[in-house]
Amino acid sequence: MTDNKDNRQVSLLIIYTGGTIGMVQDQETGTLKPFRFDNIIEEVPELKKFGFSLSTYAFDPPLDSSNINPALWIKLSGIIEDNYEGFNGFIILHGTDTMAYSASALSFMLENLGKPVIFTGSQLPIGSVRTDSKENLISSIEIAAATRNYRPVVPEVGVFFENQLYRGNRTTKNSTEHFRAFLSGNYPALAESGVHIRYNYGAIRYPEKNKPFVVHKKLNNDIALLKLFPGISRQFVESVFNTAGLQAVIMETFGSGNAPEDEWFMNCIQNALGKGIIILNVTQCKIGIVEMGIYETSRKLCEAGVISGHDITTEAAVTKLMHLTGLSTDREWIKRQLGTSLRGEITC
């Protein structure tokens, strides 16, 4: 059960970065345009029933999520840092295409987070008759405001979509068609909304007591993503590993972490590792875990010094490496951190 609290004491900040959720149809032209978020109550009058104090911050101009980059993650983390003491929780409205990347990035940047930061969006604009945006927004607000024993129920970065709240760094976009656009293949939902919102308390992370909330704003994007496929060429693999300034590579392998045994391929791997490039092995599967050594095709990677990504998503792997290589140039420290669950992103 959550606490019975005077709703007037609850203060939430809604941050609109862009995306379909913030669009309405122009009555004259029929085209979609962003609405003014300081008038959000007019678009979603149901929010009045909560009685919460709702403030808004809108990016101007709003960004298509395909244009989101690390500079915007730094801006988002700064907005939360500047407003952290003044609000009980935060809702970030974001386009769906890169939402899993942004949620993963914020999870690493906001260390020892003690308040909800809930990402949500929609597949249809808020002005559409069949829109999913109102339900996603209303439920995200209710979750961000929820307390238990007078503390936030979900003090972590989450993604809410179509009745499910997932840990942000466990999500990946799974559909462009269905309202349930996201999948958390290796970790259960933190909450599920129906007639009531049911919280999975055992799955939720809580901040460490007596440790401060810290915001990290250094990100390094000198990394690469190498997705293996049958017939991948030597020239292509070499070109990736020979990228100037490259510090780390996320290598998407087959199944439980398997890769070709061709001599040229293993030479590429060994040469890259010899130059100090970190290689993180992540499975291409949406569900499952990298287990190097079960098959001969992964044993050689393990012996060479490739690091297992366990059950991390590609989105979390990318942003975790940006975070770690932004914090330090110590390769051995970074490798140890990759094998550690920093924000619940891997199952240990």
Record the tokens describing residue 214, joined without a space: 């810290």
Last residue of a domain, one of 157, 192, 215: 215
Asked if 185 contacts 287 with a C-beta cutoff of 8 angstroms, the reply is yes
pLDDT along the chain (348 residues), means of 10: 67 90 70 66 78 90 90 97 97 93 98 97 71 84 94 97 95 78 92 94 95 97 97 96 97 94 95 97 95 83 94 97 97 96 94
Last residue of a domain, one of 215, 234, 259: 215
| 199 found inside a domain | yes
Same domain, 110 and 242: no
Same domain, 141 and 229: no
Which DSSP symbol is given to 20? G
Cα–Cα–Cα angle for 13, 195, 154, rounded to 5 degrees: 40
Last residue of a domain, one of 215, 235, 269: 215
pLDDT at 35: 65
pLDDT at 293: 80
Same domain, 26 and 149: yes
Q: What are residue 6's phi and psi, to 5 degrees?
A: -60, 115
CB atoms within 10 A of CB 337: 17
Record the tokens describing residue 19, joined without a space: 């995306």
| 241 found inside a domain | yes
CA distances to 95, 167, 171 from 344, in Å = 24, 8, 12
Domain that holds residue 234: 223-338
Same domain, 100 and 191: yes
pLDDT at 265: 96
Same domain, 114 and 260: no
Same domain, 298 and 200: no
- Which among 17, 20, 96, 253 is annotated as catalytic? 20
| 346 found inside a domain | no
What does the alpha-carbon distance between residue 32 and residue 93 come to, in Å, rounded to a whole number?
17
Same domain, 306 and 200: no
Q: What is the pTM of this model?
A: 0.93
What does the alpha-carbon distance between residue 138 and residue 123 come to, in Å, rounded to a whole number?
15
The domain that holds 271 is classified in CATH as 3.40.50.40
* pLDDT single digits (tens) 281-308: 999 999 999 998 887 778 889 999 999 9
Structural domain tally of the chain? 2
Helix (H, G, I), strand (E, B) or coil at 232: coil
Same domain, 203 and 236: no
Same domain, 149 and 31: yes
Same domain, 200 and 93: yes
pLDDT at 88: 97
| 47 found inside a domain | yes
| 78 found inside a domain | yes
Strand partners, 227: 252
What does the alpha-carbon distance between residue 197 and residue 239 come to, in Å, rounded to a whole number?
50
pLDDT at 259: 93
| 332 found inside a domain | yes
Concatenating the DSSP letter of every residue in 63-122 gives --GGG--HHHHHHHHHHHHHHGGG-SEEEEE--STTHHHHHHHHHHHEET--S-EEEE--
Same domain, 59 and 121: yes
20 is catalytic: yes
End-to-end, the C-alpha distance of the chain in Å comes to 29
What does the alpha-carbon distance between residue 174 and residue 286 come to, in Å, rounded to a whole number?
9
What does the alpha-carbon distance between residue 21 and residue 63 come to, in Å, rounded to a whole number?
12
User: Based on the number of CB atoms within 10 Å of its own CB, is 6 exposed (0-12), middle (13-18) or buried (19 or more)?
Assistant: exposed
User: Based on the number of CB atoms within 10 Å of its own CB, is 26 exposed (0-12), middle (13-18) or buried (19 or more)?
Assistant: exposed
Same domain, 231 and 294: yes
The domain that holds 36 is classified in CATH as 3.40.50.1170
HEC profile of 187-228: CCCCEEECCCEEECHHHCCCCCCCCCCEECCCCCCCEEEEEC
pLDDT at 48: 81
Cα 139 from chain centroid? Answer: 19
What does the alpha-carbon distance between residue 227 and residue 348 come to, in Å, rounded to a whole number?
24
